[in-house]
Chains A and B, each alone.
Chain A
């Protein structure tokens, strides 16, 4: 059996009366890329901080690399690479200095770091910015530097909290490419995201979280298979008519979801369903057939969309 690097049972975190993480169960295996998918406030970051051995759990079981974070925080953190939601680089220092001091925090030697920093600058495509101060970097560059920084100690597990939030599409794709390479190198990844495309691209397995609880678990393909249909037909009748049309459309397929701006119709064959919509003499203003995504899974599980 493959080794489980992170093991949680009934993991719970409360802040006063508020339960941020409500008894979650997780097993992250060596070499896999595991995702926590959910909207803002689902408890993903809190779960990450407990796993990252910086925040103590209120109750439940948790082992990371076979150790209890409550008793062995520093020993666990020695083998984690953490990319927080907000970049917390030392903005007064240069790109190289940031990598260097972070390596020193892991007790790495100057000699080792000299070579390592070159590797990381290449990996993060920051060779030309090596002597720039961090405050002069773009958002995408800072993000790549934060990821490079987390890799300085060659961690067993790389933890990324919302790695691409706030980045433009091009910067996101560059970042995904880098993360994909890490995955190919066998680095275990733990990723939180509220972007379903990111989860689909990067995660072998994921849990869908909402309000501190896990709603479902599986591979992206399995979750889509279990909780959605193969295809989705999206139709728009204009905001006033959507509600009225929804009742009519319900007769044409097993499941529909009404969103403020459009109606989603779940089916195995989108084109065929669209034909039937037209045959009924309903004329949507726009229509789109697409494959089901994790967004649909989330909608099914919670009745809400991921990004509000």
Chain B
């Protein structure tokens, strides 16, 4: 008895050229199925995160600051309005990093899923891009929800405030791609958690002009903001949401910086994934 009714054989049914062209989409599809297993948790995080931050820090700390500095005391606006675009970018970055780093560590090490993908016509490039696209989709979702919560809090003053969604996504994509490359590069995941999270991600969050203007930091600490996608996205976000003053040159610098990190991160991810799979 034959197990398979009408075996045609891979030579007939598999088209390697099709996979070469659309492999990244196939990986994205698989990653999305994974992500959707936690969809309720993702929705809960995407809503609870802005609500909790905006209430506790924005309103709590904000009312204290506004009492002392006046309701236009920070960069000409209330503290909540000043803070919100930074938190939007932070949330986008956080979800991008989560969705890039964990699948990468898992795929190379924990369940070695990437090796099973690489045993098909898929290459390291497809896998790296698939992980990135899935992360990007989650980042878009997070940023859009965050933006609506900001709208509810009444911190979006400018008519072009909706564009801040895109600058936040840009920061998330850039940081996510960079961290994906790093997670693929570091073969010992403990290094990632103990060093990268504590000494890179955390300081960037605290020193990126998130809670106060970067210019109020001593000059020798301001460089941390300059290398941080978060600061660049926050500056763009402030300009878009409440019209914070910014020169055209600086707009270009922020835009070019974020996109350069994105391109470098993606190229590095693709190379690192391909090299590690081929060892």
Residues of A in contact with B (beta carbons under 8 Å apart) = 52, 54-56, 73-75, 77-80, 82, 84, 86, 88-93, 97, 101-102, 104-108, 112, 119, 122-123, 149, 153-156, 178, 181-182, 184-185
Asked whether B29 is an interface residue with its Cβ less than 8 Å from the other chain, the reply is: yes
Q: Indicate which residue in A75, A90, A154 contacts B121 across the interface (CB closer than 8 Å).
A: A75
Residues of chain B with a CB closer than 8 A to A93's CB: 33-34, 37
Asked whether B11 is an interface residue with its Cβ less than 8 Å from the other chain, the reply is: yes
Q: Are A74 and B10 in contact (CB under 8 A)?
A: no
Q: Are A88 and B19 in contact (CB under 8 A)?
A: no
Nearest CB to that of A123 among chain B residues? B3
Q: In the bound complex, what is the Cα–Cα distance between A207 and B117 (angstroms)?
A: 29
Q: In the bound complex, what is the Cα–Cα distance between A73 and B29 (angstroms)?
A: 23
Q: Are B34 and A92 in contact (CB under 8 A)?
A: yes
Asked whether B122 is an interface residue with its Cβ less than 8 Å from the other chain, the reply is: yes
**Most chain A C-beta atoms within 10 Å of own C-beta, residue among B2, B111, B116:** B116
Q: In the bound complex, what is the Cα–Cα distance between A56 and B118 (angstroms)?
A: 13
Q: Which of B1-47 contact A (CB under 8 A)?
A: 1-5, 7-11, 13-16, 18-20, 22-23, 26-27, 29-30, 33-34, 37
Take A77-B120, A77-B121, A104-B29 as given contacts and tell me if A91 and B10 are in contact as well, using a CB distance cutoff of 8 Å.
no
Take A54-B278, A77-B120, A88-B112 as given contacts and tell me if A185 and B2 are in contact as well, using a CB distance cutoff of 8 Å.
yes
**Most chain A C-beta atoms within 10 Å of own C-beta, residue among B2, B5, B120:** B120
Residues of chain A with a CB closer than 8 A to B277's CB: 54
Q: Indicate which residue in A104, A123, A185 contacts B26 across the interface (CB closer than 8 Å).
A: A104
Q: Are B3 and A80 in contact (CB under 8 A)?
A: no
Asked whether B123 is an interface residue with its Cβ less than 8 Å from the other chain, the reply is: yes
Separation in Å of the B121 CB from the closest CB of chain A? 4
List 5 extra interface pairs beyond A89-B116, A119-B5, CB under 8 A. A74-B19, A88-B116, A90-B30, A104-B29, A119-B3
Q: Are B119 and A80 in contact (CB under 8 A)?
A: yes
Residues of chain B with a CB closer than 8 A to A56's CB: 278
Q: Indicate which residue in B5, B9, B20 contacts A74 across the interface (CB closer than 8 Å).
A: B20
Q: Are B19 and A54 in contact (CB under 8 A)?
A: no
Take A54-B119, A74-B123 as given contacts and tell me if A156 and B10 are in contact as well, using a CB distance cutoff of 8 Å.
yes
Q: Which of B111-143 contact A (CB under 8 A)?
A: 111-113, 115-123
Residues of chain B with a CB closer than 8 A to A119's CB: 3-5
Q: Which 10 A-B pairs have the closest CB atoms?
A: A82-B119, A105-B120, A101-B30, A78-B16, A107-B18, A88-B116, A74-B121, A88-B112, A78-B121, A79-B10
Residues of chain B with a CB closer than 8 A to A73's CB: 123
Nearest CB to that of A104 among chain B residues? B26
Residues of chain A with a CB closer than 8 A to B20's CB: 74
Separation in Å of the A181 CB from the closest CB of chain B? 5
List, sorted by A's number, 22 A–B pairs whose CB atoms are closer than 8 Å: A54-B277, A77-B119, A78-B10, A78-B14, A78-B19, A79-B14, A80-B119, A84-B119, A88-B112, A90-B30, A93-B34, A101-B30, A104-B29, A105-B19, A107-B22, A119-B5, A123-B3, A153-B120, A154-B13, A155-B10, A182-B3, A185-B2
Residues of chain B with a CB closer than 8 A to A184's CB: 2
